[in-house]
Amino acid sequence: MKNIVILISGRGSNMEALIAARDAGNLPVNIAAVISNRPAAKGLETAAQAGIVTHYIDHKAFAGREAFDAALAECIDQFAPDLVVLAGFMRILTEGFVRHYEGRLMNIHPSLLPSFPGLHTHQRALEEGVRIHGCTVHFVTPTLDHGPVIIQAAIPVLDDDSEDDLAARILIQEHKIYPQAVRWFAEGRLRLEHGRVRLAAALNDRAALISPEPVVTVLENP
């Protein structure tokens, strides 16, 4: 069973989705620890109640990003994770940190990358008048909100959508696709080839071939 460490900064609703999937028997991983950069993050309490070891490392106590990331990596590595999962971790990570976990650092972003990297994605989507919006799970690279795409979910943007409406409907999709992506990793089905993700067939599939297109798009009906 794969070990994972989850990083959060706040409530950690995607962390909650991962815990729920684990508890339901749909995610064959050991959540070794949940770590936050904010001591008051509500998700730490949620994780502790689920019997998961929790830690916090206050980024404000460090002079710069490099020092904080070094301390964070030291804490993470105590748990020997196969995968580090960013679940609303609101820190820009240094290149050295990302390289240390290359190929085993996963993030979810509330847009259909490469569109709308960074913050305020739903507001920007509405301002641009896009008709389809969504979320993306990807492997992390040193470039912000960039990296090989694992899975995406898309929903239509409705004429009367507010930023909050759009965010709420996309969050539902995030909670579906993040556990799926982590499950694929835990099952050893994800492969990186020339900067792209390939998805191997399930172990019970005789063919056990590599799918030419791992990205699964879930279109929600209006």
Q: Which of 109, 122, 133, 138 is catalytic?
A: 109
Helix/strand/coil for 165: helix
- Residue 81 is which amino acid? P
CB-based contacts of 151: which residues, under 8 Å, 6+ apart? 136, 137, 177, 180, 181, 184, 214, 215, 216
Torsion on CA atoms 116, 118, 121, 127, rounded to nearest 10: -60
138 is catalytic: no
Going by C-alpha positions, the residue among 76, 23, 77, 68 that lies closest to residue 47 is 23
Q: Which residues are catalytic?
A: 109
